[in-house]
Amino acid sequence: MDRERIFPAVITEESNGTYYGIAGLQLESILKAELAKKEQLLFYQGYSGDEDREVPWNDNGGIESLLQAISGWPTDTTIELLITANPDLSSRPQGMLEISIIIKTTGTTQEEVMEKAVARYLALANLLPSHLPEADFSPITSRQKLSRVLSPFEEKSALAVHRRRMSISLTHPFRQSPTVGFGSLGQGNIKRTEKQAVDHLFPWKLTANTWRRLLDTMLAQLDPTRIIIRLKKSEYDARQSAVQRLEQTIMTCEQFMAADGHHEIVLRRQAESLRDLSLAQMTGLQ
């Protein structure tokens, strides 16, 4: 077999004495063996093929296991999932959708980052068929094509989405701040001043819905759009800071539940939920 078809092209860059190696894979097709079973499920549940209704069928076990497998990779490696949509205004079905996985490594020499990029590619290429057998990925073997995947169009604006983080008062029931929609912006910046408040970082959870609505929305835009999902192992200092924050949250919740005068069921359940979530997150960081 041709060697160039096995190994991907690697682009190297240098900035301030640090070298970067970039390689990638591209989704060629989706081979979903459960389609027949899915249609049978919809038939028995009385679905008539209405395209506007969300199909109650999604298996995220493969994605979760894949993330667990790459979570132990060193901090010098970053994985990016690129979803690029190029809509066609004259004919929506003619719109183009590209899904790619980019591997970025850092090092002190060009040879080092190239070796790391190829090694991470080989590891990921073996993991993908095991955890996502319905997805057929192939290496990007051309540097020109890899450059086009990295920069398919000129970006005019960008928006970063992070995990939600807020200060929650233990002396009040759960409150939703109007951070989205057309609510008053002034009400979204309420700061808790009482001592019995915890700094809570909401856990990341896989959605139970399919990606169909997201991809349809991207293809319905007037201009090309791109979503970048970046995965990287946290540095040691960041993990230690997160553990300290979780320990403080657990201690505050325990003190609140043990204090006299806090016998309200709602408040106690709120403190218990925050404590249990913090314990689960801290266990995952160990």
Same domain, 137 and 254: no
Q: Which amino acid is at 8?
A: P
pLDDT of residue 243: 84
Same domain, 221 and 244: no
Same domain, 219 and 150: yes
Give the span between the Cα atoms of 84 and 215, in whole angstroms.
9
Coil vs helix vs strand at 108: coil
Query: If phi over 0 gives left and psi between -120 and 50 gives alpha, with beta otherwise, what is residue 71?
Result: alpha
Same domain, 105 and 241: no
Q: Is the pLDDT of residue 216 over 70?
A: yes
Give residue-wise pLDDT tens across range 257-280.
887 665 678 888 888 888 988 888
Worst-scoring range by mean pLDDT, 45-54, 69-78, 84-93?
A: 45-54
Per-range mean pLDDT, top range of 20-34, 217-231, 245-259:
217-231
Same domain, 251 and 225: no
Give the span between the Cα atoms of 194 and 212, in whole angstroms.
44
pLDDT of residue 41: 42
For residues 22 and 208, the model is more confident at: 22
Same domain, 90 and 180: no
Same domain, 58 and 169: no
For residues 200 and 224, the model is more confident at: 224
Give the span between the Cα atoms of 26 and 114, in whole angstroms.
19
Q: Which amino acid is at 162?
A: H
Give the span between the Cα atoms of 115 and 107, in whole angstroms.
10
Share of the chain above pLDDT 70, in %: 74
State mean pLDDT over 32-57.
44
Give residue-wise pLDDT tens across range 111-166.
999 999 999 999 999 999 888 888 889 999 999 999 999 999 988 889 888 888 88
Give residue-wise pLDDT tens across range 95-109.
888 999 999 999 999
Q: Is the pLDDT of residue 3 over 80?
A: no
pLDDT of residue 173: 63
Same domain, 95 and 181: no
State mean pLDDT over 249-254.
88
pLDDT of residue 24: 95
C-alpha distance from residue 132 to each of 23, 39, 68 (Å):
20, 20, 13
pTM: 0.72
Length of the chain: 286
pLDDT of residue 13: 93
* Locus of tokens 């066609």: 88
Same domain, 62 and 182: no
Give me the torsion for CA of 170, 173, 174, 175, rounded to 10°. Answer: -110
* Locus of tokens 């890899």: 146
Closest CA to 9 of 144, 132, 116: 144
pLDDT, mean over the chain: 78
pLDDT of residue 203: 76
Same domain, 194 and 136: no
Q: Give the N- to C-terminal CA distance of the chain in Å, as an integer.
A: 43
Same domain, 129 and 256: no
Total Cβ atoms within 10 A of residue 11: 19
Count of structural domains within the chain: 2
Domain containing 71 equals 3-160+207-233
pLDDT of residue 165: 83
Share of the chain above pLDDT 90, in %: 28
Same domain, 113 and 212: yes
Closest CA to 21 of 7, 32, 42: 7
Q: Is the pLDDT of residue 44 over 90?
A: no
pLDDT of residue 189: 41
Q: Is the pLDDT of residue 20 over 70?
A: yes
pLDDT of residue 55: 41
